[in-house]
Structure 1
Amino acid sequence: MSQSREAFGPDLVEVFGPSQRDGGPDLVQLLTPEGERTHHPEFDLDFSGDQLRGFYRDMVLTRRIDTEATALQRHGELGIWAQLLGQEAAQIGAGRALRPQDYVFPTYREHGVAWCRGVDPLDLLGLFRGVDHGAWDPRENNFGLYTIVIGAQALHATGYAMGIQRDGAVGTGDPDRDAAVVAHFGDGASSQGDVNEAFIFAASYNAPVVFFCQNNQWAISEPIERQSRIPLYQRALGFGFPGVRVDGNDVLATYAVTQAALQRAREGSGPTLVEAYTYRMGAHTTTDDPTRYRLSDDVEHWKLKDPIARLEVYLRRNGLVDDDFVADLKVEADALGHRLREGCKALADPKALDLFAHVYAEETEELRHQREGYAAYLDTFEGAR
């Protein structure tokens, strides 16, 4: 069942080409896979040592969350887990570009963005363990609940963006008030009707929304060449707003591009599509076996572009981290892993009547009757409540 990309036909290979499959000439990059700092005429920033070390710490700890969650699923403690291995730079760069007043609508893989917004990783594990529907309060950190319905969050984000626009929180010139919205989705979701409808509404109403697509090149087992005849970022022009392709394994470039797109939205200039060109080095989820549909050579090729390794090379080369820093970070990661393992196993199972608790802000008469009827039914079973 494994097959090379060329098996999908020479016309598709010609469209994407070898350089295109590595990102193409329009790829925004500030840090090469070898850890060399480059510059870009439109997207370039100066980064402090603390900021760079912060990116590195974020990515290392986010990868540890992913590793621990995968292991917990393998041991039967989680029902499923959506891995982000290899996509840490795309998520941390986008997450750290946000201001507190910006709002995020995630899909189900934005563990790094959740980390940046202050969501406890244990709350993520509770969702995948099946004991809740997402225990964090979106109002506390402007980070919405995970969306399982593919692409639906793009419409939610656009509607929310239109709302803050009408609330006067866009284009005022006040950096503490002007806000933007980010909708995260993958390359597979870009084929969904909801995402394309969101593009239409966002363009029509000049909504302050950034569509952030993590193109990890596989919609489960479907390669990107089967989904689009052109690079995804070029689709934005057909809807009337700009698109940018950024090296999604380069945390510096991802941060710079996302920051510019967010600022453009806050100023009232409308939507932007950011395509973070990356690679899913792991499985789609822990129920997936990627060896059935992709070649190991592709994975090995992208391991050489590992987002954490390239930043560590740059930091070490420039004397910004040393062995002690890396060792201390490993201790912190180990402590985080231990907390997640123990905390996950201690998560309480929900009570049967909890399913009525968060249906409406105020309980309706009909819902009350349903709850009472279900409670009476449960009473016929010993200890069912």
Structure 2
Amino acid sequence: MAEKTLKNIEEQFEMFQILNEEGKIVNKDALPDLSDEELQELMRRMVYTRIWDQRAISLNRQGRLGFYAPVAGQEASMLGSQFSLDKEDWILPGYRDIPQMVWHGMSLHQAFLFSRGHFKGGQMAEGLNLVMPQIIIGAQIIQTAGVALGLKRRGKDNVAITYTGDGGASQGDFYEGMNFAGAYKAPAIFVVQNNYFAISVPVEEQSAAKTIAQKAVAAGINGIQVDGMDVLAVYAATKEARKNALEGTPTLIETLTYRYGPHTMAGDDPTRYRTSELDSEWEKKDPIVRFRKYLESKKLWSEEEENKVVEKAKEEIKAAIKETDEVAPQKVTDLIGNMFEELPVNLQQQMDEYKEKESK
């Protein structure tokens, strides 16, 4: 009986797709109502982000950036979801989710400061509804439930959205956050970007569940599994999730995606746990190539247009890293001074000690 119930649940979570690997529409009824200009803007953002990712990896290897988690392959999942949001919606990102933050309003310059661990990288401007990227796996999920409840209590017509990977879905915070949001009907969206390996552990070894999306059932919220390499499907699913969240039902979105690079640039070697055959299989599903084919079929994209985006990205990235280089390095006294409005005695002693050292 239990096995039959489980099977019935699992069968409800088939992957939602609009655009197949060849750039063909396979689900016309679900096609989102986007203008030609909006479709082109989505493509610009994806191409720009791919160039930025390539450059960030290079800068990291040169020692000009600090912590960096590559995003190539996940552009549709990241940008398709962010594109569906209102400017006043809140994003609570994980450490890989810098693209969503930038397209929500944070500058590249500040993104680079965050990578360097500079305190100014985490100081969000007034009116910019972003929380500093969470390094603790899954902690942002509980925070999102709280932010969403706060929005509800204040009568705001906005949602809080958060992102984690498949590894984050193995954390206790994942279940607690969804359960809280479901119980209080908080306007929250939980996005799990399932790239199959977390840091290095295959998803099938993390959970016996056939999908991550089905975990929504226990929390009493909506759940959907989406082709995370299909930007139109991600956009449509998130748009619907936002509507439902505002009506009192949170949603868990599982996007099936793939990161082409390592988990982070801090020494991870994906060849130790992924095969070249698997990499090649996913390269055929590249979200940018897929969307490019679709737009070209509609006469909305060209090589010339793409080259313009590439050159613009290179210029703006160069300017942003130059601006970042001009920021005074963070000092120990900055770190101490940012901790409290009024320093306790022990920290005041340390402040005095380091002020003297820094003055020499």
- Deviations 1:99-154 (Å, cap 9, x if unpaired)? 12211110101122112201112212112212226344164221111100110011
Partner of residue 212, structure 1: 191
Supply the distance in 1 between the matched residues of 2:137 and 2:166 (Cα, whole angstroms): 11
- Deviations 1:187-245 (Å, cap 9, x if unpaired)? 10110111111111111111110001111111111011111222100111122111001
- Deviations 1:55-84 (Å, cap 9, x if unpaired)? 000011111221111111101112221111
Partner of residue 10, structure 1: none
Cα pair 2:114 2:122 within 8 Å, conserved: yes
Other structure's SS at 1:140 match: coil
Partner of residue 227, structure 2: 247
Is it true that 1:39 corresponds to 2:34 in the alignment? no
Cα pair 1:65 1:121 within 8 Å, conserved: no
Supply the distance in 2 between the matched residues of 1:345 and 1:138 (Cα, whole angstroms): 20
Supply the distance in 2 between the matched residues of 1:145 and 1:381 (Cα, whole angstroms): 30
Partner of residue 85, structure 1: 72
Report the more deviating stretch, 114-123 or 217-226. Answer: 114-123
Report the more deviating stretch, 114-123 or 369-378. Answer: 369-378
Letter of the 2:223 counterpart: G
Report the more deviating stretch, 24-33 or 157-166. Answer: 24-33
Other structure's SS at 2:121 match: coil
Partner of residue 151, structure 1: 138
Supply the distance in 1 between the matched residues of 2:55 and 2:161 (Cα, whole angstroms): 27
Partner of residue 172, structure 1: none
Partner of residue 283, structure 2: 303
How large is the RMSD of aligned CA atoms in angstroms? 2.2
TM-score normalised by structure 2 residue count: 0.91
Counterparts in 2 of 1:267-278, with a 5 A limit? 267=247, 269-278=248-257
Supply the distance in 2 between the matched residues of 1:182 and 1:379 (Cα, whole angstroms): 41
Partner of residue 245, structure 2: 265
- Deviations 1:166-202 (Å, cap 9, x if unpaired)? 1222xxxxxxxx1111011111011011111111111
The structure-2 alpha-carbon separation of the partners of 1:139 and 1:26, relative to structure 1 and needing over 3 Å to count, comes to farther
The structure-2 alpha-carbon separation of the partners of 1:138 and 1:234, relative to structure 1 and needing over 3 Å to count, comes to farther
Is it true that 1:354 corresponds to 2:330 in the alignment? no
Shift of 1:326: 1.9
Letter of the 1:168 counterpart: G
Supply the distance in 1 between the matched residues of 2:69 and 2:306 (Cα, whole angstroms): 27
Partner of residue 383, structure 1: 359
Is it true that 1:293 corresponds to 2:293 in the alignment? no
Partner of residue 114, structure 1: 101
Report the more deviating stretch, 344-353 or 251-260. Answer: 344-353
The structure-2 alpha-carbon separation of the partners of 1:281 and 1:382, relative to structure 1 and needing over 3 Å to count, comes to closer
Supply the distance in 2 between the matched residues of 1:357 and 1:309 (Cα, whole angstroms): 48
The structure-2 alpha-carbon separation of the partners of 1:40 and 1:370, relative to structure 1 and needing over 3 Å to count, comes to farther
Shift of 1:371: 4.7
Cα pair 1:217 1:280 within 8 Å, conserved: no
Shift of 1:31: 1.1
Partner of residue 62, structure 2: 75
Cα pair 1:95 1:112 within 8 Å, conserved: no
The structure-2 alpha-carbon separation of the partners of 1:244 and 1:31, relative to structure 1 and needing over 3 Å to count, comes to same
Letter of the 2:183 counterpart: S
Supply the distance in 2 between the matched residues of 1:195 and 1:133 (Cα, whole angstroms): 29
Is it true that 1:372 corresponds to 2:348 in the alignment? yes
Partner of residue 82, structure 2: 95
Other structure's SS at 1:246 match: strand
The structure-2 alpha-carbon separation of the partners of 1:236 and 1:136, relative to structure 1 and needing over 3 Å to count, comes to same
- Deviations 1:264-294 (Å, cap 9, x if unpaired)? 1112x22110011101111000121101111
The structure-2 alpha-carbon separation of the partners of 1:218 and 1:209, relative to structure 1 and needing over 3 Å to count, comes to same
Q: How many residues align?
A: 351
Other structure's SS at 2:190 match: strand
Match 1:48 to one of 35, 60, 69? 35
Other structure's SS at 2:59 match: helix
Partner of residue 259, structure 2: 280
Cα pair 2:112 2:321 within 8 Å, conserved: no
Shift of 1:370: 4.2
Cα pair 2:102 2:111 within 8 Å, conserved: no
Other structure's SS at 1:134 match: helix
Supply the distance in 1 between the matched residues of 2:308 and 2:39 (Cα, whole angstroms): 16
The structure-2 alpha-carbon separation of the partners of 1:338 and 1:208, relative to structure 1 and needing over 3 Å to count, comes to same
TM-score normalised by structure 1 residue count: 0.86
State the identity as a percent. 35
Other structure's SS at 1:288 match: coil
Supply the distance in 2 between the matched residues of 1:337 and 1:247 (Cα, whole angstroms): 30
Letter of the 1:38 counterpart: V
Supply the distance in 2 between the matched residues of 1:264 and 1:181 (Cα, whole angstroms): 12
Other structure's SS at 1:218 match: coil
Cα pair 1:131 1:347 within 8 Å, conserved: no
Shift of 1:379: 4.7
Cα pair 1:353 1:371 within 8 Å, conserved: no
